[in-house]
Chains A and B, each alone.
Chain A
């Protein structure tokens, strides 16, 4: 009997184009859209040398130390500036047609204490302009410090010159992870979590087709000599098999076609997906049993919960995840989509399992609650009304 119901259920579900679209094709399409829309985000965060110019006049040529410093930071692959030397007029021209972010004018060679001995000319303020200004300020501070020391203790000249090139770090940066930071991973992780929760459509259908007070089809099955819960188990197994296969295809597509990195713990990534799929399917079953309304209302509830959960997990705006964690931390733990997203995040970034285990533990509690809740509602085999 199990095989009979299971095999026909597989056929039914695989031919249900609408459900297959939302549970498989929609996440795949969304993944492609994410890939196309977000692939430049990381590249955009790489540092690009800033285009600047310096007025090539007598003051600049005679200020050897500044000239040398400026030329040094404008050389090599990791240079700070793309430097152009030109006349004042040419510099103005370059600035006006946006070829450079600003130009430097050395005004006073003799007195570095004079007001604005090195002047920065910009058209607008911005990130790049701040970097140029920081460079100039840093140079002037160093120059000032050197001059002061030389006046107080001229014998330390050589020692001072040696130490100029050495910057001592008093803070040690320790990374919590060996993984490379990646700003777009969270979007894909929320996508997987959302796809897991679209499995709720399968769960909803299973309950609709087994509860005689919901559908005529279920009433017909209820009159057959088949134990209701055994029939549900058979058809639910088919649903889970299909959804797990869909999730597997989604993971393969993300990993090998879109090159989304899940870190080295493949087994745990798969386990997380299985737990996510179970949560989604049983969530749909629970809502279908609980909400005694039309199928349209049930679908609206499932889609709303999934999308709101995905939004709060950072699917549309990555920082939302952190905002929720700061402002309403309890919500982070009550949102199963966020728990799933965070589980993938932990597997990628963290070397320890504490936070991952907490996420998975809460998800397992959700699964148990959904199962117990569903069973307590559908266990009746006679109804007050049909």
Chain B
């Protein structure tokens, strides 16, 4: 077990930011904490890192209690904060070297690690640049490099792709998977479900400080009744026909906002075929029809009654 959190409670006055949360992160996995803003992801991370005092619970990392002066544990942890945390007066190389130097004393080893980190995040051409000269995406990459240069066993990334362009986001996500392949255990927090779906091997969904579901991507989707979402683009649908759609077998809901008819079906076979047969029989004109499997947003929606980005 890399991280074990048991019954964690963190209160800010009357507000309970983390509410009896328990989680386990296993060796070699990419563990995602998914939830909307204010759901308690960053607070949980800060408690795990012993930056925040908490009201109840126990936290263990590498099988040992985590405390502010557990330096032997901190030595093997890499942090990438949500906010950019670099020195504006130091170049890219110097920033990475400075933070790496807080963990690694050997100068030669440190130089090797710093160069590897620069190469890893694709900042080789910008090594002598000051942070102010970097774009938002490159700055995020520098932020990551400062957290991972010392090759930690556990890397905690707290929303590392906020306000990043798609190209840099892609590079960052690929990099995280590569770090995992190299042996690091990852804890990744985000409110972007696509990112979490893409890179996390196990996911915990948080809402209002509580864990509402934990499992692999497919395990989470199996928890809900929605099987697939069928969308029909049509301007030719009457109220009677909409009512008839709702009566079809396995159909959970059908909403028509011209020109989109969105049909949600429960899990089962031949749902798309049933809908197509109905359209053909009624002679409904349509331009496009497509089917999607449920997303984590559907999971969140069904479990909380709200969309993930509400």
**Using Cβ atoms and an 8 Å threshold, which residues of chain B touch A382?**
50-53, 68
A-binding segment of B100-108, B197-205, B245-253, B286-294: B100-108
Cα separation A262 to B99 with both chains bound (whole Å): 45
Which residue of B is nearest A224, CB measured? B102
Classify chain B: how many residues form its interface, as a range: 20 to 34
B62 CB, min distance to chain A CBs, angstroms: 13
B69 within 8 A of A: yes
Residues of chain A within 8 A (CB-CB) of B12 are: 384-385
**Is residue A8 within 8 Å, beta carbon to beta carbon, of the partner chain?**
yes
Contact A15 B102 (CB under 8 A): no
Find the B residue at minimum CB distance from A381.
Answer: B68
Q: Known: A217-B86, A223-B49, A225-B75. Is A11-B94 also a contact (CB below 8 A)?
A: yes
Q: Please tell me if B46 contacts chain A, counting CB pairs below 8 Å.
A: yes
A383 contacts B79, C-beta separation under 8 Å: no
- Please report which residues of chain A, range 201-253, place their CB below 8 angstroms from some CB of chain B when the two chains form the complex: 212, 215-217, 219-227
Bound together, the chains give a CA A13 to CA B87 distance in angstroms of: 10
Residues of chain B from 35 to 79 with CB closer than 8 A to chain A in the complex? 46, 49-53, 68-69, 71-72, 74-75, 77, 79
The yes or no answer to A12 lying at the interface (CB within 8 A) is: yes
Q: What are the residues of chain B within 8 A of A383 when measuring CB–CB?
A: 51-53
Q: Give the Cβ gap from B96 to chain A, nearest Cβ, in Å.
A: 12
Contact indicator B89/A11 (Cβ below 8 Å): yes
CB pair B85 A219 closer than 8 Å: yes
Provide the bound-state CA to CA distance between A13 and B90, in Å: 10
Asked if B241 is at the interface of the complex by the 8 Å CB criterion, the answer is no
CA distance A225 to B76 in the complex (A): 9
- The answer to the question of B83 belonging to the interface, with a C-beta cut-off of 8 Å to chain A, is yes
Give every chain B residue within 8 A of A300 (Cβ-Cβ).
none
Task: State the CA gap A221–B87 with chains docked (Å).
Answer: 11
Q: Measured between alpha carbons, how far is A16 from B105 in the docked complex, in Å?
A: 26
Decide yes or no whether B193 CB sits under 8 A from chain A. no
Q: Name the prevailing secondary structure of the B interface residues.
A: loop
Of B52, B68, B87, B105, which is within 8 A of A385 by CB?
A: B52
Is B138 close to A, CB under 8 A? no
Contact partner of A225 (CB less than 8 A), chosen from B53, B71, B82, is: B71
* B53 & A12 in contact (Cβ 8 Å cutoff): no
> Which residues in chain A, 1-32, are within 8 Å of chain B measured between CB atoms?
1, 4-5, 8, 11-13, 15-16
Q: How far is the CA of A92 from the CA of B83 in the complex (A)?
A: 83
B83 touches A216 (CB 8 A): yes
| Contact (Cβ within 8 A) B51 A220 | no
- Minimum Cβ distance to chain A for residue B83 (Å): 4
Beyond A8-B87, A226-B71, A382-B52, 16 additional contacts (C-beta under 8 Å) are: A11-B90, A212-B51, A216-B83, A220-B99, A220-B147, A222-B51, A223-B51, A223-B74, A224-B74, A225-B103, A381-B69, A382-B68, A383-B52, A385-B12, A385-B52, A386-B52
15 A-B pairs within 8 Å (CB atoms) are namely A4-B102, A8-B90, A11-B90, A16-B89, A212-B51, A217-B86, A219-B85, A222-B51, A225-B71, A227-B71, A381-B68, A381-B69, A382-B52, A384-B53, A386-B46
The 9 closest A-B pairs by CB, nearest first: A225-B71, A381-B68, A216-B83, A224-B102, A15-B89, A216-B85, A220-B85, A225-B74, A12-B89
Q: Chain B interface (Cβ within 8 Å of chain A)?
A: 12, 46, 49-53, 68-69, 71-72, 74-75, 77, 79, 81-87, 89-90, 94, 98-99, 101-103, 105, 146-147
